[in-house]
Amino acid sequence: MFAILLTVPAVAAPLASASVGVLAWRPFFDPLDLHRQWFLLLIPLAFGIAVTYRAVRVNTFERYWLKTVILTVQIVLAMILLGTAAYVFIQFAVPYLLPMTG
Amino acid sequence: MPETMTPPSFDASDQPPMDPLAGILAVLLPGAGHWYQGQVRRALLVGGGVLGLFFSGLLIGGIDVVDSRQDRLWFFGQAIVGPVAFATDYVHQNVLKGLDPTTGQRRSPLPNEVKDPDSGRWVAGPAGSVPPVSKSLGKMNEIGTLYATIAGMLNLIVIIDAAFPSAGRVRRRGA
């Protein structure tokens, strides 16, 4: 559901060019061909998590959607920070701590 | 003179009693437990969230992301979505998978393989034939599996919230 919002434009463009491979795509039976844009799928994932988690946590639904959007942004930013930290650790810290010999 | 503040006291009688029927309903269908408790809006949001994530996972990675035999550990998480996950896995295992002609094991088809309707075994199809389901690989399989598994993890929170309701929520029963 959430992924549909994001993937429709990405799927519609190749469909317009009448590519045989994309026309053969069968929803739920074939995987999407979004291997290069996979990271964009993390945004609807964060939104889905926020919708459900906020619905459980709040007592009243006052400003519910604002809280949901804020949590979505927080999740996405946290993933970016964790990804950056992992990149820095692997690219710079590990070669410094464990230099390759020979 | 500083003003003394009294911390808010917790009164155990404010806590609603455990609601096992709502918990069971939440296991059967995400959001059904909250619906039973009269919290329709909350039920729609949690049901739409959990099922939306689960079916988005199927849309991204195909039905191959729910596989109790090949991805058993992931299926443990997905199974918490409820009977929907088990029905999806049943269709995947028994309808879409076929028998390997050599080993007799159930497996997904290779490209250009079709299922022999009599034996249920995969056989090489004519040129250009399309198998009934595609094996998902790489990032699409990972992201789709993640969606479906997180849906199950979230439904665990929903089940606990339905079975052990919080104080201060509008309830239809027991008022």
User: What is the rounded CA–CA span in Å between residue B7 and residue A20?
Assistant: 68
Residue A98: the pLDDT is 87
Q: Least CA distance to B33: which residue of chain A?
A: A56
Confidence of residue A18 (pLDDT cuts 50, 70, 90): very low
Banded model confidence at residue A10, pLDDT cuts 50, 70, 90: low
For A54-58, A61-65, B135-139, which range has the lowest pLDDT when averaged over its residues? B135-139
pLDDT tens per residue, range B105-161 = 888 888 888 888 888 889 888 887 888 888 888 899 999 999 999 999 999 999 999
Taking residue B125's Cβ as centre, other Cβ atoms within 10 Å add up to 16
Sign of the torsion angle spanned by Cα atoms B50, B51, B53, B54: positive
| Residues B137, B140: Cα–Cα separation, whole Å | 6
B64 shares contact with chain A (CB less than 8 Å): yes
Residue B99 — φ and ψ, nearest 5°? -90, 135
Phi, psi of A87 (to 5 degrees): -65, -45
Q: Residue B6 — left, alpha, or beta (φ > 0 → left; ψ -120 to 50 → alpha)? A: beta
The pLDDT tens digits of the residues spanning B31-62 come to 999 999 999 999 999 999 999 999 999 999 99
| pLDDT of B112 | 83
Give first-to-last CA distance, chain A, whole Å: 52
Q: Please return the burial class of B99, using the count of CB atoms within 10 Å of its CB with bins 0-12, 13-18 and 19+.
A: middle
- For the record, the structure tokens of B135 come out as 């094996």
**Does A35 lie at the interface with B, CB-CB under 8 angstroms?**
yes
Res B8: pLDDT: 59
pLDDT at A3 over 70: no
- Chain B touched by A100 (CB under 8 Å): no
The band of B17, judged by pLDDT with boundaries at 50, 70 and 90, is confident
Taking the CA of residue B50 and the nearest CA in chain A, the distance in Å comes to 7
Task: Name the pTM for this structure.
Answer: 0.82
Q: In this predicted model, what pLDDT tens digit does every residue of B54-110 receive, in sequence order?
A: 999 999 999 999 999 999 999 999 999 999 999 999 999 999 888 988 898 888 888
pLDDT at B91: 94
Distance separating alpha carbons of residues A16 and A10, to the nearest angstrom: 11
Between B93 and A6, the more confident residue is: B93
Q: For residue B129, give how far its alpha carbon lies from the nearest alpha carbon of chain A (Å).
A: 11
How many whole angstroms separate alpha carbon A96 and alpha carbon B175? 65
